[in-house]
Amino acid sequence: MSSTETTSSRRALREAMAAGTAVEIDLQSVTKQFTGTGAPAVEDFSLTIPAGEIVVFVGPSGCGKTTTMRMINRLVRPTSGRILIGGADAAKMKTDDLRRRIGYVVQQAGLLPHLTVRQNLEAVPRLLKWKSARIDERSSELFELVGLDEAEFADRYPRELSGGQQQRVGVARALAADPPILLMDEPFGALDPITRDRLQSELLKIQRRVRKTIVFVTHDIDEAIKLGDRVVVLKERSRIAQQGPPDEILANPADRYVRSFIGGGAAVKRLHLVRVEDLELERYPAFTEPEGYDEILRQLQETGYEYALLLDNHQRPQRWLHRDELQDRPGRPDLEGQAVQGVVMATTTLHDAMDEMLSSGTGVVPAVDDRGAYIGTVRLDQVTDALDDIHVTAVAEQEDSAPVQTLAEITGELDSRELQTAQEILDRERVARQRDETDGASTDDEPKETEGA
Ligand SMILES: Nc1ncnc2c1ncn2[C@@H]1O[C@H](COP(=O)(O)OP(=O)(O)OP(=O)(O)O)[C@@H](O)[C@H]1O
Ligand SMILES: [Mg+2]
Three-state SS string over the chain comes to CCHHHHHHHHHHHHHHHHHCCCCCEEEEEEEECCCCCCCCCEEEEEEEECCCCEEEEECCCCCCHHHHHHHHCCCCCCCEEEEEECCEEHHHCCHHHHHHHEEEEECCCCCCCCCCHHHHHHHHHHHCCCCHHHHHHHHHHHHHHCCCCHHHHCCCCHHHCCHHHHHHHHHHHHHCCCCCEEEEECCCCCCCHHHHHHHHHHHHHHHHHHCCEEEEEECCHHHHHHHCCEEEEEEHHHEEEEEECHHHHHHCCCCHHHHHHHCCCHHHHHHHHCEHHHCCCECCCEEEHHHCHHHHHHHHHHHCCCEEEEECCCCCEEEEEEHHHHHHCCCCCCCCCEECCCCEECCCEHHHHHHHHHHHCCCEEEEECCCCCEEEEEEHHHHHHHHHHHHHHHHHHHCCCCCCCCHHHHHCCCCCCCHHHHHHHHHHHHHHHHHHHHHHHHHHHCCCCCCCC
Taking the centre of ligand 1 as the mean of its atom positions, its distance from the CA of residue 290, in whole angstroms, is: 63
Q: 420 or 265, which is more confident?
A: 265
The domain that holds 156 is classified in CATH as 3.40.50.300
48 CB within 6 A, ligand 1 = no
Choose the final residue of a domain: 263, 286, 308: 263
322 has a pLDDT exceeding 50: yes
Query: Residues 32, 67: one domain?
Result: yes
Name the least confident of 80-94, 123-137, 155-169, 254-268. 254-268
Query: Residues 150, 214: one domain?
Result: yes
Per-residue model confidence (pLDDT) at position 199: 85
390 has a pLDDT exceeding 50: yes
Residues with Cβ within 8 Å of residue 281, at least 6 apart in sequence: 367, 375, 376, 377, 378
234 has a pLDDT exceeding 80: yes
In a domain, 16, yes or no: no
Taking the centre of ligand 1 as the mean of its atom positions, its distance from the CA of residue 446, in whole angstroms, is: 12
Query: Residues 203, 293: one domain?
Result: no
Q: Which of 69, 448, 451 to mutate to test the pocket of ligand 1 (most atoms within 8 A of CB)?
A: 448
Sign for the CA dihedral angle at 237, 212, 207, 388 comes to negative
- Could you list the residue range(s) of the whole structural domain that residue 32 is in? 23-263
Closest CA to 45 of 234, 185, 257, 184: 234
Per-residue model confidence (pLDDT) at position 6: 58
293 CB within 6 A, ligand 1 = no
34 CB within 6 A, ligand 1 = yes
- The pTM score is 0.70
Q: 443 or 419, which is more confident?
A: 419
218 CB within 6 A, ligand 1 = no
Percent above pLDDT 70 for the chain: 78
Query: Residues 128, 257: one domain?
Result: yes
64 CB within 6 A, ligand 1 = yes
Name the least confident of 90-99, 179-188, 275-284, 413-422. 413-422
In a domain, 15, yes or no: no
Q: Which of 32, 56, 63, 73 to mutate to test the pocket of ligand 1 (most atoms within 8 A of CB)?
A: 63
Choose the final residue of a domain: 204, 234, 263: 263
Q: 440 or 9, which is more confident?
A: 9
Ligand 1, atom 12: closest residue by C-alpha: 41
401 has a pLDDT exceeding 80: no
364 has a pLDDT exceeding 80: yes
Query: Residues 397, 317: one domain?
Result: yes
Mean pLDDT of all residues in 153-167: 91
Q: 322 or 445, which is more confident?
A: 322
Per-residue model confidence (pLDDT) at position 348: 86
Per-residue model confidence (pLDDT) at position 414: 36
Ligand 1, atom 11: closest residue by C-alpha: 41
261 CB within 6 A, ligand 1 = no
Per-residue model confidence (pLDDT) at position 388: 67
Per-residue model confidence (pLDDT) at position 262: 84
pLDDT tens digit sequence for 269-287? 778 888 898 888 888 888 8
Mean pLDDT of all residues in 379-387: 80
Mean pLDDT of all residues in 287-298: 79
Please give the C-alpha separations between residue 78 and each of 42, 101, 412, in angstroms, as whole numbers.
9, 19, 41
Choose the final residue of a domain: 263, 280, 306: 263
Per-residue model confidence (pLDDT) at position 16: 65
Per-residue model confidence (pLDDT) at position 335: 65
Query: Residues 220, 276: one domain?
Result: no
